[in-house]
Structure 1
């Protein structure tokens, strides 16, 4: 389903920017036609049965006997509003049934036949209602800009940590990518994410975080600036191809910057030097299977103790804006306000919301 709110048109195209697509169960045209034909046949045979049961109240101009075939013939010409008049209701009961039952069935039959036209007329109203309801319920969600390889991988990681599909909104300028996202159960916004009205359609001003997986580094910078302007408190995670552009992205307001080209190169180098180590790292960054690397808050039971006493393997301790190694003397005693970067088995715990920051842990 495509919902195209009013807005400025894209430069050089006739498409509107910020078209919102909400996921809906797909029904093939053949199945829709089959359903309507079945409904029409049900109405037809119900009417035939009513006429046949009351056949003594009808008069046939050709003969005095109203057979089942006559009832079928009368029903078809009546429901189609043809009405030749050769078979007519004569008794009071037959006329009453025609008035109170067969006439509504005739209207229902016609509605089924012209259902496609009626659906086209009411579709926009229904879509607008769904869109308004979706906007009203959307809070603290995740916006993913770019549904390519990086964006898909980010979405899969979010799903593996417990994020619901209804809490993810995909933004992409390519219609096919947005249609693919909605087919997978995500809401999608078609348009250029560097424009504020497109991100506004994705409700970025009420989002908890945004993942920027654009194809170009300059696009990632512009999206970061726009998102930070619309929501100063949003958590921005962005990917860049070239490492030299990472500082610019941080200055633009990104909280975390991932250099995709350099990271892939380091993994390639590590795979040559230490194949088993690269396999472990690949397992760590793939959430939901084997070992998982995650960040979580310190529990009350862990406060005041050493990182080595934690049930998970502690890699780093986040204290304020500093990241301390597990063997750093300052991290020897954990504080309740600390956060831990740990390694744990994926099947050990299920993701739970962090009450203090609203993040997944």
Structure 2
């Protein structure tokens, strides 16, 4: 993972940071350093235990101590070899030839390999980013990876969107670590700058979710996204209700007022705890009930919304949402989409329409 200074540089320049796969380069380097220290320690131990088989030409007694053993090990493994300390006993020379020499070779290979690994890791990183940029299209960009952004990403993944099709744009810090932990690619930088958004491939994205903690930043990000991509579907969050019209004018297709939504849920829970429980259930993925949108099945064309197995609460026709009781959608027609409330978990004895490969009206030729 990048250190704080590196993250600061990335946040300024809009670096692309892809999630790590397997061991990181820093973990690999740590393992190599530990192995190198181990080789040095083993060699020092061998020399010190056999210190009577060595002679120090700079010492009047010719004896070597622990410090001499460490010195001899470092100059030997690094192939410097000053020659002031040398093995003189026959068994010491054999140990040097058949044990210490292989350790020296292993240490040099480790040293060179570590240098090459650092260079290769940088090259692989650049290749991964280039490959990622070539293949990134029709994806989802999430601006801001706080609580709202992370919940949005989790909802997308739980509903079938691949993690590889989600890109996070954030200024860095803890958000980058959180996004990496969730397996998402991150572009660090200010999302109000077109260069940062271009690195996230906004011009090729199909959807953009904007969830920073500042309404002014959300408005500027929305304007910039709309300038780069006129066809993207933009969902933006605002903290204050009075900023919602401004967000719409900036180009957002859908605006969620976070403070109002939380306040309404708190009020409902206060007035009716059971109603608050149901609303929370509808907003929680994978448990109890869920709100979903699905295609109309062939067998459902011409029927009334109230007669379907799913609890239909709205019908989408020609990009307009109608309540299920609206006279306009008394009979369902081809091309309609249904907003339904249904069990979050599919049970064998209660299959949900549209989840078993049934033919939809859009499949008809």
Query: Which residue of structure 1 lines up, in the alignment, with residue 13 of structure 2?
Result: 17
Query: Which residue of structure 2 lines up, in the alignment, with residue 72 of structure 1?
Result: none
Query: Which residue of structure 2 lines up, in the alignment, with residue 301 of structure 1?
Result: 299
Query: Which residue of structure 2 lines up, in the alignment, with residue 163 of structure 1?
Result: 161
> Which of these residues, 213, 231, 234, is aligned with residue 233 of structure 1?
231
Q: Which runs of 5+ in 1 are unaligned?
A: 3-9, 46-75, 88-102, 357-361
Query: Which residue of structure 2 lines up, in the alignment, with residue 284 of structure 1?
Result: 282
Does the 8 Å CA contact 1:287/1:293 hold for their aligned counterparts? Answer: no
SS of residue paired to 2:169? strand
Query: Which residue of structure 1 lines up, in the alignment, with residue 150 of structure 2?
Result: 152
Does the 8 Å CA contact 2:32/2:114 hold for their aligned counterparts? Answer: no
Deviation, 1:214, is: 1.2
Distance 1:80 1:228 in 2: 60
Query: Which residue of structure 2 lines up, in the alignment, with residue 265 of structure 1?
Result: 263
**1:128-167 deviation digits (Å, cap 9, x = unpaired):** 1010111122222111111111111111211221222211
Distance 1:320 1:281 in 2: 28
Does the 8 Å CA contact 1:246/1:257 hold for their aligned counterparts? Answer: yes
Distance 2:235 2:121 in 1: 37
Mapping for residues 1-361 of structure 1, pairs under 5 Å: 16-24=12-20, 25-27=22-24, 32-34=29-31, 81=79, 109-348=107-346
Distance 1:17 1:81 in 2: 43
Deviates more, 1:190-199 or 1:16-25: 16-25
SS of residue paired to 2:299? coil
Deviates more, 1:236-245 or 1:286-295: 286-295
Deviates more, 1:109-118 or 1:287-296: 109-118
Distance 1:272 1:32 in 2: 56
Distance 1:213 1:318 in 2: 26
Deviation, 1:109, is: 4.7
Does the 8 Å CA contact 2:11/2:172 hold for their aligned counterparts? Answer: no
CA RMSD of aligned residues (A): 3.9
TM-score by length of 2: 0.73
**1:158-206 deviation digits (Å, cap 9, x = unpaired):** 1221222211111111333123211321101111101111111111111
Aligned length: 310
SS of residue paired to 2:12? coil
Distance 2:280 2:320 in 1: 26
Deviation, 1:311, is: 2.4
Distance 1:130 1:302 in 2: 47
**1:264-288 deviation digits (Å, cap 9, x = unpaired):** 1111111111111111111111222
CA change 1:198–1:15 in 2 (3 A) is closer
CA change 1:125–1:28 in 2 (3 A) is closer
CA change 1:351–1:287 in 2 (3 A) is farther
SS of residue paired to 2:309? coil
Does the 8 Å CA contact 1:40/1:112 hold for their aligned counterparts? Answer: no
Deviates more, 1:317-326 or 1:343-352: 343-352
SS of residue paired to 2:339? strand
SS of residue paired to 2:315? strand
Does the 8 Å CA contact 1:306/1:332 hold for their aligned counterparts? Answer: yes
Distance 1:14 1:23 in 2: 15
Distance 1:107 1:255 in 2: 64
SS of residue paired to 1:261? helix
SS of residue paired to 1:301? helix
Distance 2:37 2:214 in 1: 54
